[in-house]
Chains A and B, each alone.
Chain A
Amino acid sequence: MTIKIGVPSKGRLMEKTFDWFAERGVSLSRAGSEREYAGKVEGIEGVELVLLSAGEIPRELSAGRIHLGVTGQDLIREKLSQWDQRVEELAELGFGQADLIIAVPQVWVDVDTLEDLDAVSAAFRAEHGFRLRIATKYHRLVREYLKEHGVADYQLVDSQGATEGTIKNLTAESVADITSSGETLRANHLKILSDALVLRSQATLFKARGLKLSDEDRATRTELLKKLGVWN
């Protein structure tokens, strides 16, 4: 058996993860060609690299098909109910920062806080006959957040990409999305509510909880975590 570690299969997130491991004496790399999703691990025996989409890593950890995984805290919280029962955060890796925020058109000069959004939702519903639409792919996180803060008369509409464009296209009045610099929001004439940070997220190393491991695998995992400086 081996200890399987899941890492995002594409782009900057993969490269930065590789760098983070390399700095700690564990070399991760893609095996073979650019298109091949098999990985190679050097610097420790008995560890296998699995390249996956960042969005699938929460599910794979929860199912125990990988033992460790690197993904965003936003994806873990959105996709796993009672996430802290299923996985444990071992280390924040210092990159992939993204805030889940709620944004509205800049021209809504009367809206700056959740209190405003709630009041406008009530008025919007009375005027238009349907609930104010917030476009997002983070349904659970946003719904829980708005419930906790007592915002009513809104609806979530699904948007898996180009979310900032939904307002101009008249398919939503507001968006809840991940932003790092806010540039895309500004380019689309949107502004962030000043008191509505739904979640602050970054790339994080997670450990699946409640796994039954052989003594050998357990020793391998411990050795790896010690090497990475996240053993406690």
Chain B
Amino acid sequence: MIDRSAPRKLAAELRAQFEAQGAVPVEPPFLLPAETLLDLYGEDIRGRAYVTSDPARGEMFMRPDFTVPVVEMHMAQGAEPARYTYAGEVFRRQEENPDRAIEYLQVGYEVFDRADPVGAEAEVFARIASALKPMGLKAVTGDIGLLRAAIEGLETTDRRKAALLRHIWHPRRFRALLDRFSGRAPVPAARAALLNAADPLANAGPMIGLRSAAEIEDRITALKEDAATAPLSERELELIEALLDVRETVPFALEQLRDLAVDLPAINGAVDRMAARGAALEKLGVSLDTLEFEATYGRTSMEYYDGFVFGLIAEDRPDLPPVASGGRYDALTSKLGQGREIPAVGGVIRPGLVLDLGGLS
């Protein structure tokens, strides 16, 4: 039997603390329509979340996190700026790690505020970090916004940039695309044959399925245009790699990024923003000298977190997931809101892990 009373009590205390700091408590539903989550995360979500169903509503997911229902509540009825807090169970399939918890509590703090984005980021981080201060956790931050800015600044076609941005959270496919666009990977034989064919659709067999001849022809045109596009330069690839390698405390990371920005001016705005965030964090009493920065932090585990991200980690327990994590997820709200811009940043604490690690006293 899991002891639920202690984590529940801690979760309630943390939520009360966030409430006292001005957040409105909310109680999102347990069951979420599957379609929304599948549209956002694709089939992969089936490997992480439990699915159930009924004949009238179809497939439903047991909430794997609070982000989607909180955003939906905010979009339906929230005025900005808004601050929300919640506490409750989330449910995660753990096929690959059967020792990890399949249900656990999360306490969250979310801010929707478009007036002062870096201020909101600093606020979320500082509130969560200060709630967990007695634990002496290591804080790691990152910023996917730098990589986004670097991609947007590449000297190449919009189509290639869109392909890279689409796979920013899938490092393996991202790498394969960079290799393709730079000419590091050879053109596959079938692709070369297609590009050289006088009439590619001759002898191709009957048209079957929903994808039309026009769609096939459009892609062939796009592939031909792409083949005629100059490859990404080695210089640009090296700069992207250097950017992905930045791993320092915040002040040193900023220095490295400023150096990189000399050759990669597209990231200047993102670096300025990181500097402004640092100033906002210091104003809230966070020391930057011990705050770690990793350019790729959260890249594989936090899809749709597209700017500032953070995690609070028990350094002597690498076997455990972060005790708290969060960041900016404008990409998610924009997709959920079908293009509506709803700046959002938030974070969650896992009270169960707090207690496993000795609690807050």
Binding site for B on A (CB under 8 A): 81-82, 105-110, 112-113, 115-116, 118-120, 122-124, 127-128, 131, 139-140, 143-144, 146-156, 167-168, 170, 173, 189, 194
Known A119-B163, A152-B167; judge A110-B173 contact (CB<8 A). no
**Interface presence of B205 (CB below 8 A):** yes
B29-61: CB near A (< 8 Å → 1, else 0) gives 000000000110011101100000000000000
CB distance from B126 to the nearest CB of A (A): 34
Query: Which of A82, A140, A144, A167 makes the CB contact (< 8 A) with B209?
Result: A167
Docked-complex contact A155 and B211, CB < 8 angstroms: no
Docked-complex contact B194 and A109, CB < 8 angstroms: yes
Known A118-B173, A119-B219, A152-B170; judge A143-B190 contact (CB<8 A). no
Most B C-beta atoms less than 10 A away, residue of A119, A149, A155, A156: A119
Docked-complex contact B209 and A109, CB < 8 angstroms: no
Docked-complex contact A154 and B215, CB < 8 angstroms: no
Docked-complex contact B200 and A109, CB < 8 angstroms: yes
Docked-complex contact B209 and A105, CB < 8 angstroms: yes
With A107-B207, A150-B176, A155-B38 already in contact, 5 other A-B pairs whose C-beta atoms are closer than 8 Å: A106-B204, A110-B220, A112-B188, A139-B46, A150-B170
CB distance from B169 to the nearest CB of A (A): 9
Docked-complex contact A112 and B191, CB < 8 angstroms: yes
Closest to B171 in A: A150
B129-164: CB near A (< 8 Å → 1, else 0) gives 000000000000000000000000000000000010
Q: Report Cα–Cα, A112/B188, bound state, in Å.
A: 9
Total A-B residue pairs with C-beta atoms closer than 8 Å? 110
Q: Report Cα–Cα, A87/B191, bound state, in Å.
A: 42
Query: Which of B42, B95, B208 makes the CB contact (< 8 A) with A168?
Result: B208
Q: Report Cα–Cα, A168/B173, bound state, in Å.
A: 30
Closest to A194 in B: B190
Q: Report Cα–Cα, A174/B43, bound state, in Å.
A: 15
B201-230: CB near A (< 8 Å → 1, else 0) gives 100111111110101101110010000000
**Interface presence of B174 (CB below 8 A):** yes
Known A107-B205, A189-B206, A194-B190; judge A152-B215 contact (CB<8 A). no
Q: Report Cα–Cα, A119/B42, bound state, in Å.
A: 15
Q: Report Cα–Cα, A107/B98, bound state, in Å.
A: 43
Q: Report Cα–Cα, A100/B339, bound state, in Å.
A: 38
Known A110-B216, A167-B208, A189-B206; judge A151-B47 contact (CB<8 A). no
Query: Which of A106, A140, A153 makes the CB contact (< 8 A) with B42?
Result: A153
